[in-house]
């Protein structure tokens, strides 16, 4: 059986990554900015995964062109009711970086996870913009 390939951004300590691995994805890379989370990743999968300890904004997707899946749980504070809900005005909003990487990598599938707050009416325009960009890139969205 051929292993599906994955690049995961905002990987944290690897919770989603482990689920993707169990679903049959081999991680070409896991990107995370937090040093402690990266150490956890290295201790648990460092021999099998390329762990990139860096800001997602500094990652060049061209290196990963053609992987099957780009996945990530981009930071939720820009949209969370527990945060200030600043959306695009929040410096932690990494949806633009995820979309940039989708454009550079050209994966077969893009999986971006966030919080229920993103579904609030105040972010209708923002969600529409994300969806429009994904559609421009040739992805079907739901």
Instruction: Reply yes or no on whether 6 is catalytic.
Output: no
Q: Is 52 buried (19+), middle (13-18) or exposed (0-12) by CB count in 10 A?
A: buried
Choosing from 6, 10, 38, 76, the catalytic residue is 76
The backbone torsions φ and ψ at residue 120, rounded to the nearest 5 degrees and listed phi first, read: -65, 150
Q: Is 89 buried (19+), middle (13-18) or exposed (0-12) by CB count in 10 A?
A: exposed
Active site residues: 76
């Amino acid at each position: 059986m051929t292993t599906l390939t994955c690049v995961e951004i905002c990987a944290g300590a690897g919770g989603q990554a482990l689920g993707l691995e169990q679903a049959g994805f081999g991680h070409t890379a896991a990107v995370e900015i937090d040093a402690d989370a990266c150490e956890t990743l290295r201790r648990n999968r460092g021999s099998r995964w390329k762990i990139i300890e860096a800001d997602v904004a500094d990652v060049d997707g061209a290196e990963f062109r053609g992987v099957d899946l780009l996945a990530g749980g981009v930071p939720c504070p820009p949209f969370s009711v527990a945060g200030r809900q600043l959306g695009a005005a929040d410096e932690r909003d990494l949806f633009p970086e995820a979309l940039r990487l989708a454009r550079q990598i050209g994966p077969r599938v893009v999986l971006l996870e966030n919080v229920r707050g993103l579904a609030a009416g105040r972010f209708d325009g923002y969600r529409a913009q994300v969806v429009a960009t994904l559609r421009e890139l040739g992805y079907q969205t739901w």
